[in-house]
Structure 1
């Protein structure tokens, strides 16, 4: 009789422990699934900070600085008409583009290999140099309270690992904007559009993201010949003409 009672008690205890274990697992899964988007969003923000810092540091180390737009403008000899045609000096632009892209790639590779000199010193962020030197990409830890934006916890709680690495090569393209400025003048800006694709990895999830930056190559004002008569074509109806006095010999 006592043996049967002990067996029943043991069976009940086993059922209670198994049920408790299942409840804990289900609760952890539910909490993790609800918090996963928060983790990913926070990891993406921190990753963009780190990657943007590395890119900016590479750009600042360039030998070339921002040029005057007139330094990259070439005037073509006039043909049958008296109009002067201009074009960009692609040799200078491509040289700056190649130098910038190469430096950004080099700095990102050095950062992934554990060179802390190329990484920002962010508050409450600890880099895992060992894993970085082992080729796991850029790895850092942040407190759980900071990742969840819970001021009560602050820097308490387990430290969440965040890892990201570069996917493919650094992509770059040249973009230019031209805006009308005054009478027959144009404000021109030529820049390099850099794109760095990264893979962000946190416990039980990963996400691809893109870090973008625009690097100015040349900025300035191109002055054209002021016409003798100027008419504003905007608006409706007949527009008044402005006549510029021309000196005569």
Structure 2
């Protein structure tokens, strides 16, 4: 009789323990699901900081600096002596683009392989060099309180691992911006639009993100000849300004 009573108590204790374990697991799952968007948002912000730092360091290592736009403009002969046709020197632009893209890719690969000289020193971020040496991408830890945006915890709690790696090749495009400046002048800016696609991985979730950067290639003012008659344009009758022309 006493043996049955002990057996019944033992079964009850096992049931209580299993129930507590199940409740703890469900509670942790619920907490993780509630905090997951915050984890991913924090991981994306930190990833953008790291990737942007690496990209900027690669850009600063270029042999070519920002040029005057007039140095990459070629004048082409036209049928009229009063008209000048111009075009951009695509050979120079493509050379700068290729150099920039190659350096960015090289620096990102070196950072993924654990080269800390290419990585920024961010507050509350600890890099896992061992994981990075094995080719797992850029891996770093942040405290749970920091990642979950819980000011009361601060830097306390377990450290959450965050990993990101480059997806595919670095993509780049050449873009030009031309704005009217004064009379028959134009402000011209030639830049490279650089895109780096990364995969961000946190415990039980992942997300793709794109790091964008605009790198100036050439900037300057292109001056044209002042016309003899100038109007502001628009609707209705506009006053015109006549520029005096010297006669021989």
Measured against the shorter chain, the TM-score band is over 0.9
Give the aligned length. 248
Tell me the equivalent position of 1:86. Answer: 86
TM-score by length of 2: 0.98
* Residue in structure 2 matched with residue 172 of structure 1 by the alignment: 172
1:244 paired with 2:243, answer yes
CA displacement 1:190-222 (0-9 Å, x = unmatched): 000000000001111111110000000000000
Match of 1:41 in 2: 41
Q: How does 1:13-162 map to 2 (within 5 A)?
A: 13-80=13-80, 82-162=82-162
CA distance in 2, matches of 1:75, 1:81: 12
SS in 1 for 2:156: coil
Q: Which runs of 5+ in 1 are unaligned?
A: none
Whether 1:184 and 2:184 are equivalent positions in the alignment is: yes
Whole-Å separation in 2 of the counterparts to 1:157 and 1:22? 22
- Aligned-pair CA distance for 1:165: 0.4
Superposed CA RMSD: 1.0
Q: How far, CA to CA, are the matches of 1:14 and 1:121 in structure 2?
A: 49
Write the distance in 1 (CA, Å) between the matches of 2:79 and 2:247: 27
Q: Distance in 2 between matches of 1:149 and 1:19?
A: 31
User: Deviations for 1:171-200, whole angstroms, at most 9, x for unmatched residues?
Assistant: 011000101111111100000000000000
What is the distance in 2 between the residues matched to 1:28 and 1:104?
40
How far apart are residue 80 of structure 1 and its match?
Answer: 4.7
TM-score (norm 1): 0.97
Q: Tell me the secondary structure at the aligned position of residue 124 of structure 1.
A: coil
- Between the aligned partners of 2:19 and 2:168, the Cα distance in structure 1 is 47
Q: How far apart, in 2, do the equivalents of 1:67 and 1:145 lie?
A: 46
Structure 1 stretches of 4+ with a deviation exceeding 4 A read none
Counterpart secondary structure, 1:54: helix
In 2, Cα distance between equivalents of 1:140 and 1:20: 33
Unaligned runs of at least 5 residues, structure 2: none
Distance in 2 of aligned mates of 1:80 and 1:221: 23
